Amino acid sequence: MDKVLARGSAAARSRPRAAVVSILAAGAVVTATVAMATSASAGTTLGAAAAEQGRYFGTAVAVNKLSDSTYVGILNREFNMVTAENEMKWDATEPSQNQFTFSAGDRLVAHAQANGMRVRGHALAWHQQQPGWAQSLSGSALRQAMVNHITQVATHYRGKIYAWDVVNEAFDDGNSGARRNTSLERTGSDWIEVAFRTARAADPGAKLCYNDYNTDNWTWAKTQGVYNMVRDFKARGVPIDCVGFQSHFNSGSPYPSNYRTTLQNFAALGVDVQITELDIEGSGSSQATAYGNVVRDCLAVARCNGITVWGIRDTDSWRASGTPLLFDGSGNKKPAYTAALNALNEGGTPPPTTEPPTSEPPTSAPPTSAPPTSPPPGGACTATLTSNQWQGGFVTNVRVTAGASGLNGWTVSLTVPSGAAITNSWSTQPSGTSGAVTFRNVDYNRQVGAGGTTEFGFQGTGTAPTGTPTCAAA
């Protein structure tokens, strides 16, 4: 069988190394190389503009606000990634030991899936927002409770989470650069790597992130402390895929001019970087400038996957009095919104498009003719698949290329192999989960200019689909 080199999209690129190795061992199907979508058109929403750059734009969501029509209107129009502001935390999901309640988190996942959004999971292990019973534990009882919690929650959401904040805020503020002294830390200093290994075993398809605040300024001791931990984890093979920079900025912790340097230096360790809880206190043009700077810094770093703001309207914010978000209390766009959108549309460095070779090249004969460089004349669109397969599951990215007339709505049809099932999808609405499935555009990727491209994806159990799907104008 052919050897595989999974490469291409940001999703394929960032699959855990172990997953790539298992495909190689299994000798699965060859995947195609895909450059990221960059079309000339400007996105008119945050999500669409970020997608043009191969990134996402997300927000924290408070699930009880999903009945607020203004809130949901902005959410569905602007964002293509969501984080549960509180609903997936330890106190919310395991209020009594080993009794799990997932209903609120499940509501958010369902809303995301129905609207073509992805989900960041937040947060598996953290010293705050622990249920009372966990606060009273220590030592091996707490360690075991943490491992069980991570296993149960990550297993429940397996296949539905783009990235998990596995460990949150484990470093001290101040000048020590040391780890925070918490009951989790006192279970043994290996607790963070145990948390990552546990999460990997429970959901091998999710990117696993370390997430913290006040790690934005490269010169700060806390930043250096986290950097040294990530470098050590990469050197020792601890399964970490990404670092989340919360980026809660205010006068005490302002946007630092070396922010881009921080993102670049972490990415150079071989992890993705994500801006996970962005809010910037202030108003008017100074706030707008800072938002624009953050967006430009992310776009300048190939491995910066995307940006999540910590709420929608100022009144939704945990720091409401600081008016730190992109929409005012009535849901109107602020100057900060326009600055962020414009910065997205300026473009930046595309995400990585190739994976460095990890094994011998494919043994199969190369194609006998060059692949088409443009869609066939008269065809409305073409679609290509890039998949990454691991034992028991897969992620597939689909690239849609418009023909000479452009697209105002599209569908892609393919057959999911027997025994396989789709568990999650993004930037699309699938007609089903198995057998013959048709994927329809969502609002923000309906229009594709002539020769332009857009991407969507899905994750599933079993074997990834292969071949060339059918693409049609809707």
Residues known to be catalytic = 169, 277
User: Can you read off the two tokens belonging to residue 176?
Assistant: 């020590």
Using the rule CB under 6 A, is 129 a contact of ligand 9MR? yes
Binding-site member from 52, 85, 203, 241 for ligand 9MR (CB under 6 A): 85
- Cα 404 to Cα 261, 282, 379, 447, 449: the distances in Å are 41, 46, 8, 13, 8
Tell me: does residue 359 bind ligand 9MR (CB under 6 A).
no
Distance CA 129, CA 119 (A): 20
Binding residue (CB under 6 A) for ligand 9MR from 76, 246, 287, 323: 246
| Residues 292 and 346 sit within 8 Å (Cβ to Cβ) | no
Which of 101, 103, 128, 181 contacts ligand 9MR by CB under 6 A? 128
Q: Which is nearer to ligand 9MR, 169 or 355 (CB)?
A: 169
CB of 165 to ligand 9MR, least distance (A): 8
Residue 76 near ligand 9MR by CB under 6 A: no
274 binds ligand 9MR (CB under 6 A): no
Residue whose C-beta lies closest to ligand 9MR = 318
Q: What angle do CA 471, 473, 474 make, to 5 degrees?
A: 115
Sign for the pseudo-dihedral over CA of 213, 218, 224, 227: positive
Q: How far is the CB of 149 from ligand 9MR (least distance, A)?
A: 16
Minimum distance from residue 420 beta carbon to ligand 9MR (Å) = 35
Interface map 154-193 toward ligand 9MR (x if CB under 6 A): --------------x-------------------------
Residue among 88 and 240 whose Cβ is closer to ligand 9MR: 88
Q: Is 318 in the site for ligand 9MR (CB under 6 A)?
A: yes
Dist. CA 230–CA 2, nearest whole Å? 34
CB atoms < 10 A from the CB of 21, how many?
13
User: Among residues 133 and 318, whose Cβ is nearest to ligand 9MR?
Assistant: 318
CA triple 56-62-65, angle to 5 deg: 110
| Residue from the set 241, 277, 314, 455 that interacts with ligand 9MR by CB under 6 A | 277
Per DSSP, the three-state class of 217 is coil
Q: 67 vs 75, 310, 318, 320, CA distance in Å?
A: 12, 19, 19, 20
- Structural contact between residues 32 and 379, judged by C-beta atoms closer than 8 angstroms: no
Contact status: 279 vs ligand 9MR (CB under 6 A): no
Question: Which residue type is seen at 228?
Answer: N
Which parts of this chain interact with ligand 9MR (CB under 6 A)?
85-86, 128-129, 168, 213, 246, 277, 318
